[in-house]
Amino acid sequence: MATERPLKIAIVAGEESGDLLGADIVEALKRVTGREVRLVGIGGRHLQALGLTPLFDGGEIALMGLSAILRDLPRLMRRISQTAGAVANEKPDCLITIDSPDFSLRVAKKVRAADPAIPIVHYVCPSVWAWRPGRAVAMKPYVDHILSILPFEVRELARLGGPTGTYVGHRLTHDPGVLGAAKAQSLPRDLSDDRVKTLLVLPGSRRGEVRRLAGPFGKTISILRARGHRLRLLLPTVPHVADLVRASVASWDEKPEIIVDPERKWQAFGKADAALIASGTVSLELALSGVPMISCYRLDPVMRMAQRLITVWSASLPNLIADRPIVPESYNEYVRPHYLARQLEALFSDTPYRAWQKDGFAEVARRMAVDRPSGEIAAGVVMRCIKGANRE
Bridge partners, residue 234, by sequence: 200, 257
The CA distance from 108 to 106, in Å, is 5
pLDDT score recorded for residue 392: 66
CB 294, CB 328: distance < 8 Å: yes
- The letter for the amino acid at 83 is T
CB 136, CB 128: distance < 8 Å: yes
Task: Give the 3-state secondary structure of residue 208.
Answer: helix
CB 43, CB 11: distance < 8 Å: yes
pLDDT score recorded for residue 304: 61
Non-local CB neighbours of 245 within 8 Å, separated by 6+ positions: 203, 210, 214, 235, 237, 258
Q: State the burial class of residue 63 (Cβ atoms within 10 Å of its Cβ: 0-12, 13-18, 19+).
A: buried
Q: What is the pLDDT of residues 87-120, one digit of tens each?
A: 999 999 999 999 989 899 999 999 999 999 999 9
Give the other-Cβ count within 10 Å of 374's Cβ. Answer: 23
Report if pTM > 0.75: yes
pLDDT score recorded for residue 313: 83
pLDDT score recorded for residue 192: 95
Closest CA to 122 of 157, 171, 172: 157
The CA distance from 59 to 44, in Å, is 8
Bridge partners, residue 92, by sequence: none
Non-local CB neighbours of 63 within 8 Å, separated by 6+ positions: 69, 72, 76, 100, 102, 103
pLDDT score recorded for residue 2: 47
Q: What is the pLDDT of residues 206-242, one digit of tens each?
A: 888 999 999 999 999 999 999 999 999 999 998 889 9
Closest CA to 67 of 309, 304, 308, 303: 303
Closest CA to 307 of 131, 57, 53, 97: 131
Q: What is the pLDDT of residues 40-84, one digit of tens each?
A: 999 998 999 999 999 998 777 765 455 555 667 788 889 999 999
pLDDT score recorded for residue 64: 47
pLDDT score recorded for residue 30: 97
Digit-by-digit pLDDT tens for the chain (392 residues) are: 446 899 999 999 988 888 989 999 999 999 999 999 999 999 998 999 999 999 998 777 765 455 555 667 788 889 999 999 999 999 999 999 999 898 999 999 999 999 999 999 999 999 998 888 999 999 999 999 999 999 999 999 999 999 999 999 998 998 999 999 999 999 999 999 999 999 999 999 888 899 999 999 999 999 999 999 999 999 999 888 999 999 999 999 999 999 999 899 999 999 999 999 999 889 999 999 999 999 999 876 666 666 666 778 898 999 999 999 999 999 999 999 999 999 999 999 999 999 999 999 999 999 999 999 899 999 999 999 999 988 66
Give the other-Cβ count within 10 Å of 90's Cβ. Answer: 17
